[in-house]
């Protein structure tokens, strides 16, 4: 049946103790990447600066009713102008890696053709500043901000968009390939396809299965083309893709549930990982969706299956699936997004992915939680013990998976900053660092201090608030001249 379901939850092994109560310290391997992640549209702002063109998200935000708080990305966290301070803050927190994305509309404002040197200059400066701070850049080429001009020509359902992505990837690789060694092509193709072209919750807001299926293939093709371009320009670089996984847990024992569970698992979890691993699209669901695969041209599947150096895994929650829609039993607590907290699903997922595909390396490229953030400590920081517990319990699962031989080489907390959470606007707070929307002042939350302490010692510390030994970057150092 599904490959991503939980193992028997009734089995009470020490593994189950990925809970806040677990206090035994666990060491992570030397060289393990301790990072945080962001994306261009969610934090950069400066939406018209230096030749950047409109993205599908700028257009989507301008349409009434699309974003819960009617907000947009015009200013966001103003990272475009504050990136140096943000990097200093990461350095002070002791983070060793930073995952960010490039805005395609900055680099190729016309979608195809001329490259905008000023757009690339920003990322050039960003990468240099990261390297100077001793932070390794993990670059993602596409985190959903398609140039609107390409959507106007048909968007991802059109094959030419994949070709345009290959050319864009080559342009970025030519500029940054000498300094960036970890490249991800696409972030969460499932979300691009499903939310963008099937249920319309995300830009460009289309709702058509035929478009979604075409988009799913072209996004994977774009990955294959970009990988080829990056390798041609920067042969020493490591190239991968970032997929999101929502493991399916069957609910009830209705025989009518089996098809649903399988289709949901294949569509949400395996649709991208299977082709990347050379297994092709999951046949059962191809058939159920009635996809004739007319978009798939000779050579596409081989290009898509070209070996990757690493798989990036984004994990937040699992999905309970029964015979009917809405048959869903939340067993754990929930985040502010209403997502069930079930850390064991991450450990099971990591083991399952390794057994199923054996990719050479895995990174947890996103994991984190929107929390209420409604309590402050005496020093004014957000007292987010719930987020500390979430991070702790998921890191415990990562540690278990590593012990079991799964090659996980890094972890990126989502997110560095409170930021624009797509159709949810600025309501949900995912950041380790609070951002005052009016003043843009950043203030690390207690979770940032905890995560910093873990990153510095490479050990899973108990999920309690540490002494604030990490200097608060928003407070001037009195000893500094
Ligand atoms: O904010 C998003 C991110 O852009 C992609 N992965 C999930 C996060 C939380 O929803």
Q: Is the pLDDT of residue 14 over 50?
A: no
Q: Is the peptide bond before 204 cis (omega within 30 degrees of 0)?
A: yes
Q: Report how far residue 47's alpha carbon sits from residue 105's, in angstroms, rounded to the nearest whole number.
A: 9
Name which of 156, 167, 193, 45 is nearest 110 in CA terms: 167
Superfamily, domain 20-460: Glycosidases (3.20.20.80)
pLDDT of 323 reads: 79
Give the position, in ligand 1's atom list, of the atom nearest the Cα of 42: 4
pLDDT of 466 reads: 72
Q: Is the pLDDT of residue 193 over 70?
A: yes
In this structure, the residue with its CA closest to atom 4 of ligand 1 is 39
The token pair that represents 374 in the structure block: 């409604």
| Helices marked H in 1-96 | 40-43, 56-61, 79-93
**Tally of CB atoms within 10 A around 204:** 20
In this structure, the residue with its CA closest to atom 10 of ligand 1 is 421
Asked if 224 and 262 count as a contact pair (C-beta separation under 8 A), the reply is no
Q: Report how far residue 92's alpha carbon sits from residue 471's, in angstroms, rounded to the nearest whole number.
A: 7
pTM as predicted? 0.94
Helices 385-403/344-357 angle, 10° precision: 30
How many angstroms is it from 421 CA to the middle of ligand 1?
7
In this structure, the residue with its CA closest to atom 1 of ligand 1 is 421
User: What is the per-residue pLDDT across 71-83, written as a single tens digit (0 to 9) for each?
Assistant: 999 999 999 999 9
Give the residue, out of 314, 412, 426, with the most ligand 1 atoms within 8 A of its beta carbon, to mutate for a pocket test: 314
Mean local confidence (pLDDT), 205-232: 99
Beta strand 26-27 pairing with 459-460: antiparallel
Mean of all residue pLDDT scores within the chain: 93
pLDDT of 465 reads: 84
Q: Is the dihedral of CA 133, 180, 142, 147 positive or negative?
A: positive
Mean local confidence (pLDDT), 196-222: 98
Q: Report how far residue 331's alpha carbon sits from residue 352's, in angstroms, rounded to the nearest whole number.
A: 22
In this structure, the residue with its CA closest to atom 9 of ligand 1 is 421
How many angstroms is it from 458 CA to the middle of ligand 1?
25
Q: Is the dihedral of CA 104, 106, 111, 114 positive or negative?
A: negative
| Helices marked H in 336-445 | 344-357, 385-403
How many angstroms is it from 126 CA to the middle of ligand 1?
22
Asked if 159 and 108 count as a contact pair (C-beta separation under 8 A), the reply is no
Terminal alpha carbon distance of the chain: 64
User: What is the per-residue pLDDT across 399-425, written as a single tens digit (0 to 9) for each?
Assistant: 999 999 999 999 999 999 999 999 999
Mean local confidence (pLDDT), 243-249: 97
Asked if 408 and 398 count as a contact pair (C-beta separation under 8 A), the reply is yes
Pocket of ligand 1 (CB under 6 A): 39, 42, 188, 314, 366, 414, 421, 430
Distance of CA 77 to the CA centre of its chain: 18
How many angstroms is it from 350 CA to the middle of ligand 1?
19
Give the residue, out of 421, 424, 429, with the most ligand 1 atoms within 8 A of its beta carbon, to mutate for a pocket test: 421
Catalytic residue among 238, 366, 389, 409: 366
Q: Of the given ranges (167-181, 329-343, 392-406, 460-474), which has the lowest mean pLDDT? A: 460-474
How many angstroms is it from 406 CA to the middle of ligand 1?
24
Q: Is the pLDDT of residue 59 over 60?
A: yes
Q: Report how far residue 342's alpha carbon sits from residue 430's, in angstroms, rounded to the nearest whole number.
A: 17
Q: Is the pLDDT of residue 459 over 90?
A: yes
What are the structural domain ranges in the chain? 20-460
Asked if 136 and 402 count as a contact pair (C-beta separation under 8 A), the reply is no
Give the position, in ligand 1's atom list, of the atom nearest the Cα of 366: 6
Catalytic residue among 44, 54, 188, 266: 188
Percentage with pLDDT > 90 across the chain: 87
How many angstroms is it from 438 CA to the middle of ligand 1?
23
- Verify whether residue 54 is a known catalytic residue: no
- Verify whether residue 188 is a known catalytic residue: yes
Mean local confidence (pLDDT), 261-288: 98
């Amino acid at each position: 049946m599904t490959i991503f379901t939980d193992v028997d939850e009734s089995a009470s092994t020490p593994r189950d103790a990925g809970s806040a109560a677990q206090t035994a310290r666990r060491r992570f391997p030397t060289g393990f990447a301790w990072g945080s992640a962001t994306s261009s549209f969610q934090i950069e702002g400066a939406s018209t600066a230096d030749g950047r063109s409109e993205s599908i998200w700028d257009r989507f935000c301008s349409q009434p009713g699309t974003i819960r708080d009617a907000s947009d990305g015009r200013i966001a966290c103003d990272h475009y102008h504050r990136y140096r301070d943000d990097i200093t803050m990461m350095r002070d927190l002791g983070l060793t890696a930073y995952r960010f994305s490039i805005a395609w509309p900055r680099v190729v404002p016309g979608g195809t053709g001329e490259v905008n040197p000023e757009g690339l200059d920003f990322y050039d400066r960003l990468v240099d500043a990261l390297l100077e701070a001793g932070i390794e850049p993990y670059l993602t080429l596409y985190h959903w901000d398609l140039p609107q001009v390409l959507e106007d020509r048909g968007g991802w359902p059109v094959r030419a968009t994949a070709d345009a992505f290959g050319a864009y990837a080559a342009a970025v690789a030519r500029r940054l390939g000498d300094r960036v060694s970890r490249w991800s092509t696409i972030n969460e193709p499932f979300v691009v396809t499903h939310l963008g072209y099937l249920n319309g919750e995300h830009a460009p807001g289309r709702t058509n299965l035929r478009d979604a299926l075409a988009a799913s293939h072209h996004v994977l093709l774009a990955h294959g083309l970009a990988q080829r371009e990056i390798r041609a320009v920067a042969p020493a670089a490591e190239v991968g893709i970032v997929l999101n996984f929502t493991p399916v847990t069957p609910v009830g024992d209705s025989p009518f549930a089996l098809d649903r569970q399988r289709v949901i698992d294949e569509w949400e979890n395996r649709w991208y990982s299977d082709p990347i691993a050379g297994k092709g699209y999951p046949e059962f669901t191809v058939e159920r969706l009635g996809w004739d695969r007319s978009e798939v041209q000779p050579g596409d599947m081989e290009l898509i299956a070209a070996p990757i150096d690493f798989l990036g895994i984004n994990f937040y929650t699992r999905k309970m699936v029964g015979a009917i829609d809405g048959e869903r039993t939340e067993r754990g607590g929930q985040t502010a997004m209403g997502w069930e907290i079930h850390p064991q699903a991450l450990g099971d997922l990591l083991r399952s992915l390794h057994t199923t595909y054996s990719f050479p390396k895995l990174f947890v490229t996103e994991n984190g939680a929107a929390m209420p953030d409604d309590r402050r400590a005496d020093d004014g920081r957000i007292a987010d013990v719930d987020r500390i517990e979430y991070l702790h319990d998921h890191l415990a699962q990562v540690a278990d998976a590593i012990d079991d031989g799964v090659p996980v080489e890094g972890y990126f907390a989502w997110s560095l900053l409170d930021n624009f959470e797509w159709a949810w606007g600025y309501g949900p707070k995912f950041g380790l660092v609070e951002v005052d929307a009016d003043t843009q002042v950043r203030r690390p939350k207690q979770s940032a201090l905890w995560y910093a302490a873990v990153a510095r010692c490479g050990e899973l510390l108990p999920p309690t608030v540490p002494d604030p030994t990490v200097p608060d970057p928003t407070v001037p150092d009195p000893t500094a001249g």
